[in-house]
Amino acid sequence: MKEFYKLLRWEFKRIFSNSVLCAIFFGAPVLYGILFGYVYQQANVVDLPIVIVDQDNSPLTDKITDAFEDNEGLLVKDRRYNPGNILDEMPVEQYVAVVTLPSGFEADVLQKRYPEVRVDLNMANILNANTASKNIQQVLMSLNAGIEIESLKKQGLNPAAAKASFESFKINFHKLYNSTGNYLSFMMPGLLGAIMQQVIFLAMALVFSRDFEDGYFRQLVKKDKSSLYLIVLKATPFILFLPFMWLFVGRLFIFFNIEAEIFNFPMLILITLLSLASMGVGMLFSVAIPNQLKATELLMVISTPAFVISGFTWPSMAIPGFINGIAQSIPVTHFLTAFRKVAYLGGDLSHVFPEIKMLLLIILISFVAMAVLLQIKIKRARTRHVSRRV
């Protein structure tokens, strides 16, 4: 153990002497966590620019325009009486929607000719388009109902009867889990999980590959010929650092007021398994590829699309089977699925048992493969050392 502690102290020195490793492991979670938090801090999309083409210019279309201006999700950037060449303006103005109120609109409404309001949506950004569509429908349907009720009242019905006649049934939506539709609460956990996996991947990719490059590995194998000994030696500093990194990530949830139950035992199990699985994959690449640049590049290839194919934002059932199969081999896929069950849906360990099994399987496969491959490299290094002495 005395020798182990001596080597461990040297490992800490090697870690802190590597500016790239320190920047990745300590800087990335802090920088990206705060950056993404502020990006999504507004939580909901507001002031989406629209243009109203009012070809009728009547009191009714004035009322409709006022209703659009009162909607916080929309910003009436321009109101005009002829369309002009809106397509030429789009690259600069980037209107999310164009609402056209046709000529004779008020007269047609009063005479029950059911005129059409045309809404052209800019689908270049689907999130903005869907949000704008929802707000536009809300405004127009409210006005439509109001106009119909007023018409019935003019026909002699009292207000209550007019409202009842227009509404054949009521619809009541009750939103569960992130009831405000807070985009920060939706995106931030997935991004932070993906960031932590990528940070661990890249940091662990350097632990053995650096030793192979600078010759330190030959000194290590003189101390002990067991691959498990070297794996524990290399993993220990990061096992000590990671709780502090996860604690910082947890504090970001509090700082940005993200509504998620993360300080509980199931979540502790999940972040522990994600950390170990990511360490296993990263160290396996570090052993298999004795070059720091190539090891990190290959792990970047894996980690870059991990969030997209994890099923966190786009449902897994809509992803082709072979891509879904690849996603199942990446730790963050199972972590994010389990995270949503625990943090938002109030699940316990029994609810995330399938994800726990998969994370344990990734840990087992990666560490066994790493131990076998490392043992082979230790044997070769010791054989070369003996050959040189002979």
Low-confidence ranges of the chain (pLDDT < 50): 168-169, 390
Which pLDDT value is given to residue 162? Answer: 57
Instruction: Give the chain's radius of gyration (CA, Å).
Output: 30
Whether the Cβ atoms of residue 233 and residue 11 lie closer than 8 Å to each other = yes
**Which residue, chain included where needed, has tokens 């035992």?**
265
Q: Which residues pair with 52 in a beta bridge?
A: 79, 99
CATH architecture of 48-166: 3-Layer(aba) Sandwich (3.40)
| pLDDT tens track for 228-250 | 999 999 999 999 999 999 999 99
Comma-separated ranges of CATH 3.40.1710.10 domains in the chain: 48-166
**Which residue, chain included where needed, has tokens 């569509």?**
133
pTM value is: 0.79
3-state secondary structure of 78: strand
Would you state the structure tokens that stand for residue 383, as one six-digit string? 């054989």
SS3 content of the chain, % helix, strand, coil (to 5): 70, 5, 25
Which pLDDT value is given to residue 305? Answer: 84
Q: How far apart are CA 218 and CA 232, in angstroms?
A: 17
Amino acid at 1: M
Which pLDDT value is given to residue 163? Answer: 60
DSSP structure string for 132-181: HHHHHHHHHHHHHHHHHHHHHHHTT--HHHHHHHH-SS-------SSTT-
**Which residue, chain included where needed, has tokens 């707000």?**
135
Nearest Cα residue to 236 out of 36, 39, 10, 30: 10
Which pLDDT value is given to residue 231? Answer: 93
| pLDDT tens track for 320-329 | 888 888 899 9
